[in-house]
Amino acid sequence: MGDGESLPRGPAVHPYRGLARNFTSLIGAALAAISLANIVFLVLVSWISSQPSPYLGILAFLVFPAFLILGLLLVPAGMWLERRRRRKRTPGEISKFPQIDLNRPAQRNALAFFVASSAVFLLLSAVGSYRAYEFTDSVEFCGQLCHAVMAPEYTAYLRSPHARVPCVDCHVGPGAGGYVRSKLSGSYQVYAVVFNKYPRPIPTPVVNLRPAQETCERCHWPSKFYGAQLKVFYHYAPDEKNTPRQIRMLINVGGAEPSAGLPSGIHWHMNLANQITYIATDAARQVIPWVQAKDMQGKVTIYTAKDSRLSSEQVNQAEKRRMDCIDCHDRPSHIFTPPDRSVDESLQAGRIDASLPFIKQEAVTVLSNTYATAAEAQTQIASEIRQFYQSKYPQVDQAQSQSIETAVSDVRKIYQSTIFPAMKTDWRSHPDNVGHLYSPGCFRCHDGQHTSAEGKVIPKDCNTCHTVQAQLEGAATLQVPAPPTGFSHPVDIGDLTQVNCSDCHSGGVGP
Ligand code: HEC
Ligand code: HEC
Ligand code: HEC
Ligand code: HEC
Ligand code: HEC
Ligand code: HEC
């Protein structure tokens, strides 16, 4: 060079020297370095902070590692491209494939460095993958990350008896299969959230929920249930005095394990000795016209609803579901309590002052109204309750203004934790199937209208599932009628075994 003669083939090229000094590799190296620095920083932050945000996890364990790997791949890719470019410029001088000669110290060192750094990288990525696995299974990831979408379920979960049970224990179940399946559907869900394509409310029931044997039964042991359990129901009448009412009831929780005694009571259905399969004609599984019971001896009884018989063709084609825990306990963790019950609980706990006239009725009414947004609900609830006392009970408004304000704040809290207008989620969209007061529940089958060809009926007698021990109304003890009714209804509505409680009791405005 330097003799003025132009070199048609360019300067003599070294096959390796400076190979990494090309645009692609440099970008790759920079990307990898920045990502690594970010990961280290975020991991440090998540160690230091007591309540790390789930976004931190998604960056530290998913996003930056992806960029790190991309960067690390770009480095050799750029080198390979550069080598190819050099080979094209100087045909013949550079062999097609790199020659590795371990007798040359430079190459030996390079290889040793490559092997050592690969080993370290593999080790770190194993740790990282495990943390990513743990993180994508965490309650924060499930409940908070898509906070707008999951707010109803997450809020209800935090107040439920299962608030300490991770989401995945019920929704994913153990094993790699469950993990992969959940991450596959999870990827679709992320897409749905990003592009605002998710349904409101999130549909229930969850079609592909793991069978209860793999989730609930890992903690709850079906064969341990037996006998009856006392439960007290507290109510306050929708009258001026908010008259307290009490129902003390023995619930025949029963058992299902034949070796522990005859299967009996409510957990009779629990599959151990008896199998129940049914057909629901609606997506929410609220309308059940066909039920099949198979007992321990294998004897099959088919019950059909009087008013909506399915043809044998419809029965053959329909999807049949085997009954398990979730067909009754559909709200073990996401309990959207009806206003009627929420307000009764607050009155019973003293969070709302029961001496405020008509507070039961007023609170249930404002909670049942429709509001466009949660924020609007908060303002309206306050102004409506205040206005009620200002206009109807000015003396109370003066004398008990503190109680009124406490009631206002409690009713607002009830709204916040059980009713979610943005996701159209509340007790109406997500009924609880245990019981029968506010939604058909047990009466989906036990309505006295499901009969077999031999004339057997799925029983509706009021003492099949529970026995009322005592009933109080204000200070008075009521006379509990004999079976088959066994319950004294506050107002005369005729034969109790002929009515559907949820026809009148909606859980919202009304009784
Ligand atoms: C104790 C078990 C359990 C736990 C813990 C649990 N879930 Fe659920 N989840 C259920 C059941 C049961 C259903 C309803 C299934 C049905 O009706 O088919 C459900 C339904 C849902 C639904 C569908 C909408 C609905 O309300 O029916 C979403 C969304 C959901 N869960 C999210 C979560 C999130 C997020 C967490 C953790 C914060 C969580 N779940 C924790 C048992 C659980
Ligand atoms: C990881 C263990 C675990 C799993 C899984 C689990 N539970 Fe529970 N469950 C508990 C514990 C612990 C309690 C008791 C909580 C308490 O008393 O505060 C409980 C309480 C309950 C109760 C009584 C609630 C009440 O109001 O007192 C019901 C009903 C129940 N679980 C049903 C279910 C169903 C249905 C499933 C499956 C969808 C399920 N559980 C899954 C641990 C679990
Ligand atoms: C036919 C409906 C039905 C089915 C199916 C069912 N349960 Fe129940 N379970 C009930 C009722 C009703 C109660 C009493 C609840 C109450 O009064 O609050 C109850 C009570 C419970 C309790 C609380 C009992 C206690 O001693 O504290 C647990 C825990 C429970 N069920 C778990 C399960 C599990 C797990 C399964 C599935 C293996 C299951 N249940 C299946 C209806 C059912
Ligand atoms: C999918 C339909 C279906 C639902 C929902 C249902 N059951 Fe049942 N239940 C049956 C069938 C069928 C039988 C068996 C009737 C027979 O053949 O004796 C039965 C029997 C029972 C028995 C035993 C009755 C006896 O004679 O000893 C009890 C108790 C019971 N159910 C309680 C409940 C409770 C409580 C609920 C609601 C939490 C409920 N069931 C929901 C279908 C259902
Ligand atoms: C198939 C079982 C079953 C039958 C039949 C049944 N019940 Fe119930 N009932 C239940 C269960 C389960 C609960 C408890 C619900 C809960 O824990 O929230 C309940 C709760 C109640 C309550 C208390 C509700 C509350 O919130 O205060 C009353 C009152 C009641 N039943 C009356 C009746 C009457 C009257 C009949 C007869 C027409 C009847 N039940 C038939 C299962 C049944
Ligand atoms: C025809 C409508 C109707 C039907 C059906 C009905 N109820 Fe009622 N129920 C009422 C009315 C109205 C009240 C309120 C009376 C009052 O206090 O002013 C009431 C009050 C109650 C209360 C007291 C609640 C409170 O807040 O004070 C209970 C518990 C109750 N009913 C249970 C049942 C059960 C269980 C069934 C099903 C077997 C049933 N009801 C069916 C109309 C009905």
Instruction: Find where tokens 């009970």 sit.
Output: 393
Q: How far away, in angstroms, is 423 Cα from ligand 3 center?
A: 28
Ligand 1 atom closest to Cα of 205? 18
Cα(368)–Cα(381) distance, integer angstroms? 10
Q: How far away, in angstroms, is 307 Cα from ligand 5 center?
A: 23
Ligand 4 atom closest to Cα of 254? 29
- Whether the predicted pLDDT of 399 surpasses 90: yes
| Residue 481, pLDDT score | 85
Nearest CA to ligand 5 atom 22: 437
Structure tokens at 90: 């100087």
| Residue 485, pLDDT score | 83
> In this prediction, what percent of the chain has a pLDDT beyond 90?
50
Residue 416 banded pLDDT, cuts 50, 70, 90: very high
Task: Please state the rounded mean pLDDT for residues 151-166.
Answer: 90
344 in contact with ligand 2, CB cutoff 6 A:
no
Instruction: Find where tokens 């809020």 sit.
Output: 155
Q: How far away, in angstroms, is 392 Cα from ligand 3 center?
A: 45
127 in contact with ligand 6, CB cutoff 6 A:
no
| Residue 3, pLDDT score | 43
Half-sphere exposure of 197 (CA within 13 A, CB side): 7
Closest CA to 231 of 53, 504, 470: 470
Residue 7 banded pLDDT, cuts 50, 70, 90: very low
Cα(28)–Cα(439) distance, integer angstroms? 60
| Residue 238, pLDDT score | 94
pLDDT, one tens digit per residue, over 222-232 is 666 667 789 99
- Whether the predicted pLDDT of 490 surpasses 60: yes
Residue with the larger pLDDT of the pair 401 and 63: 401
| Residue 364, pLDDT score | 97
Structure tokens at 429: 């969209």
Closest CA to 201 of 155, 252, 149, 260: 149
329 in contact with ligand 2, CB cutoff 6 A:
yes
Cα(237)–Cα(356) distance, integer angstroms? 13
442 in contact with ligand 4, CB cutoff 6 A:
yes
Nearest CA to ligand 6 atom 31: 489
499 in contact with ligand 5, CB cutoff 6 A:
no
pLDDT, one tens digit per residue, over 206-225 is 777 777 777 888 888 766 66
**Mean pLDDT taken over the chain:** 85
Residue 168 banded pLDDT, cuts 50, 70, 90: confident
pLDDT, one tens digit per residue, over 127-147 is 888 887 777 777 777 777 666
Q: How far away, in angstroms, is 265 Cα from ligand 4 center?
A: 8
Cα separation values, 371 from 47, 142, 362, 421, 484, Å: 42, 27, 16, 7, 42
Whether residue 415 contacts residue 378, with contact meaning beta carbons closer than 8 Å, is answered with yes
| Residue 13, pLDDT score | 60
| Residue 2, pLDDT score | 40
| Residue 57, pLDDT score | 76
Residue 4 banded pLDDT, cuts 50, 70, 90: very low
464 in contact with ligand 4, CB cutoff 6 A:
yes
Nearest CA to ligand 2 atom 26: 161
Burial of 281: CB neighbours in 10 Å, binned 0-12, 13-18, 19+? middle
Cα separation values, 307 from 72, 211, 290, 491, Å: 68, 31, 11, 28
**Is the peptide bond preceding residue 205 cis, with omega within 30 degrees of 0?**
yes
434 in contact with ligand 3, CB cutoff 6 A:
yes
| Residue 44, pLDDT score | 85
Residue with the larger pLDDT of the pair 299 and 185: 299
Closest CA to 292 of 282, 305, 310, 304: 304
501 in contact with ligand 6, CB cutoff 6 A:
yes
| Residue 269, pLDDT score | 59
Cα angle at 255 between 254 and 256, to 5 degrees? Answer: 140
Structure tokens at 75: 């480095």
Task: Please state the rounded mean pLDDT for residues 392-398.
Answer: 96
Pocket-testing residue among 220, 269, 330, 433, ligand 2, by greatest number of atoms within 8 A of Cβ = 220
279 in contact with ligand 4, CB cutoff 6 A:
no
Nearest CA to ligand 3 atom 34: 325
